Structure 1
């Protein structure tokens, strides 16, 4: 049984690394639907349930310090690739479709929670708020909302269940609809001629930019060290600034930290910092450790409502899809725009480019940039959904 903080953190990192290697090198199809980060959560939850470590004073301090300080740093790094200048090149209609998808997801969460509330435990609105952050942005946004709203670790198990199972079904559906793109465009009256040109121009711009990112390809230490130190400095500064801000029952000091670091990340992404290599890798390492920390406080015995939450997730996706079809008819969206707007929210960078490539490889940059837009709005959108759900909760 583990009682020291160092051994506790070491086990979490080793599990994250081991599962990442397993998923990357395995040919089992199940790993396409259960990514390493989901497997990490439930693996750590099993160890926690079995009492693999004790909640000693040193372990509790390590948990609190790492989670509190790493999460703002992770958000900052995650947002460094959110180049608003590039996102603008997508065009007004595609960006409008993204926000239409985000709004429909928020409305669908309100409808789903209203319908299922009699069968959910008290405080379940926080679970759904965290999920909405993920479905408007990504897992990093979900972790930010978990911290901001103090979502119980066990409830995060429900969030990740829905986020993996229901999300996988949604991806399969959107991919299955690709052959019907022409017929859908005829029904909505959409003009699809601009998409290929947009995708090609974005790909050319990306290639040109990457050619001047790093003149010394062999030096990986300097950019990593710069980003790590800067992200931790931003974490310390945002927490200090948040301590000076007024708070309410909903907008706590932690919420201020998340909001401040989000703004700083978006602003920094418009500078030359966006061209420093390593922000994605470092933010992912921090995310895996944070998810492991959260799972280390969970217990499988508390996951008694899994089928209810999975069904609730499907209902949310149904209403989201229904509204997107209505938006498509009213605003003349094509199937690619609807699908990529939806998956850029729900799937993020991991899956939006895959759907884009199913239409045309030239459209992959469109999927990437729309997913990056999700990182910007996911945390704020999830907190807004959480506020609405808390008002409905009885």
Structure 2
């Protein structure tokens, strides 16, 4: 018996439904009521933005796989969000954190990359079926999310051709395991004094940074104007158009190279791969120009808006019934995050880093800009931007490092 036709097939109507869902979720998540605070304590807003559209698909209200909204979000909103999230990088501020902060952040990145390999091999022994077949593809998307963020995760989905069902399963692993780790870090934050005595950390530089951040916020914050918004959108979509143009040239040139080089095995013949890489690079270059000042007008927030719409369009392709098909994936995620956390604590002890740098360096990888400032502000509200700065650096590294992780996993899998 053929499946029933979806109730709604008009993309304009579906787009309106997605916008209403995103607006409703973020509005309720911002409420001060005890009910909503308690609800979102256990149900992350980002996960809800994915699951509610997937409910529409699962219940037959829409057919997300036949909608044209996702290709539009993928080709325009994803590279645009990467540009805006990268243009906010302030390398001078990161340098002022001192080498220990950067070391801890890069240790977190290495922990995600190596943890992927360790967890893959561990499940190969514990439950081989879990990592059989194309599981490595799904793991590459988690690497993108845990080094960078949702944009990098979606980029890896396209680069390694991860189907919607597997992607949904790994989104669940990403969000549930990632939020569990956030809870662990927040618990440790309340015991920072004990941790810092154990590591022998010097906190004077951190206190000076806290004071300088308070002064910077007061100096640069502004209410964005219409011109600000139009310039920010011009930067995002102008760079997106340039990335598409240069991506076409790159694919054409690589296609002219000898076939026996097998460059397609490394996604180098994928137009989308080059769009993502070029958009990220443009954002990084713009961060050294006056374009970075538009972060004060909300550049990264507009990038996040694009990202949330992308998440919703991905979610509407998911069949929720498939989430329970592979429970062993959650053990894989636990081993993965445990390796990452253990490596972070070991390096923090070796270099005598404060818990703040360990926790924020970790969360800047695992939770990205959505939750890194939450962990940072657990130490002091004025330090929240530090979490954002490191998380945005994660956006810049996420595409490159997740790609390396993906091709390494592919080699381990023998694919």
Alignment partner, residue 226 of structure 1: 231
Asked if 1:323 corresponds to 2:329, the answer is no
The TM-score with structure 2 as length reference comes to 0.86
Task: Give the counterpart of 2:75 among 68, 79, 85.
Answer: 68
Structure-2 change in CA distance of 1:305 and 1:347 (3 Å): same
Alignment partner, residue 129 of structure 2: 119
Contact 1:199 1:362 survives alignment (8 Å) = yes
Structure-2 change in CA distance of 1:54 and 1:208 (3 Å): closer
Contact 1:126 1:151 survives alignment (8 Å) = yes
Give 1:149-298 correspondences, 5 Å limit. 149-210=160-221, 217=223, 220-245=225-250, 246=254, 248-251=264-267, 252-276=270-294, 277-298=297-318
Contact 1:129 1:386 survives alignment (8 Å) = yes
Shift of residue 49 of structure 1?
1.7
Contact 1:42 1:157 survives alignment (8 Å) = no
Task: Give the counterpart of 1:12 among 4, 9, 18.
Answer: 18
Alignment partner, residue 386 of structure 1: 406
Give 1:357-376 correspondences, 5 Å limit. 357-376=377-396
Partners in 1 of 2:58 and 2:64 — Cα distance?
Answer: 12
The C-alpha deviation readout for 1:137-163, integer Å capped at 9, x for no partner, is 222221222232222222222222122
Partners in 2 of 1:127 and 1:169 — Cα distance?
Answer: 20
Structure-2 change in CA distance of 1:169 and 1:254 (3 Å): same
The C-alpha deviation readout for 1:347-390, integer Å capped at 9, x for no partner, is 22232222223223343333232222222212222112112111
Partners in 2 of 1:275 and 1:313 — Cα distance?
Answer: 38
The TM-score with structure 1 as length reference comes to 0.90
Partners in 1 of 2:192 and 2:106 — Cα distance?
Answer: 21
Alignment partner, residue 370 of structure 2: 350
Contact 1:74 1:283 survives alignment (8 Å) = yes
Contact 1:78 1:375 survives alignment (8 Å) = yes
Shift of residue 280 of structure 1?
2.5
Contact 1:80 1:273 survives alignment (8 Å) = yes
Contact 2:144 2:399 survives alignment (8 Å) = yes
Larger mean Cα displacement after TM superposition, 77-86 or 360-369: 360-369
Partners in 2 of 1:35 and 1:119 — Cα distance?
Answer: 30
Give 1:333-348 correspondences, 5 Å limit. 333-348=353-368
Larger mean Cα displacement after TM superposition, 92-101 or 30-39: 30-39
Structure-2 change in CA distance of 1:186 and 1:23 (3 Å): closer
Shift of residue 346 of structure 1?
0.9
The C-alpha deviation readout for 1:38-97, integer Å capped at 9, x for no partner, is 1121111121122222479xx544432332222111211222211222222211121111
> Unpaired segments of 5 or more residues in structure 2?
1-6, 255-262
Alignment partner, residue 107 of structure 1: 114
Partners in 2 of 1:193 and 1:152 — Cα distance?
Answer: 49
Larger mean Cα displacement after TM superposition, 32-41 or 102-111: 32-41
Contact 2:360 2:376 survives alignment (8 Å) = yes
Runs of 4+ in 1 over 6 A off after TM superposition: none
Shift of residue 196 of structure 1?
0.9
Shift of residue 103 of structure 1?
0.6
Shift of residue 179 of structure 1?
4.2
Alignment partner, residue 257 of structure 2: none
Shift of residue 236 of structure 1?
1.8
Contact 1:203 1:365 survives alignment (8 Å) = no
Larger mean Cα displacement after TM superposition, 314-323 or 80-89: 80-89
Structure-2 change in CA distance of 1:94 and 1:54 (3 Å): closer
Partners in 1 of 2:63 and 2:365 — Cα distance?
Answer: 38
Larger mean Cα displacement after TM superposition, 119-128 or 201-210: 201-210
Paired residues in the alignment total 386
RMSD of Structure 2 on Structure 1 (CA)? 2.2
Shift of residue 99 of structure 1?
0.5
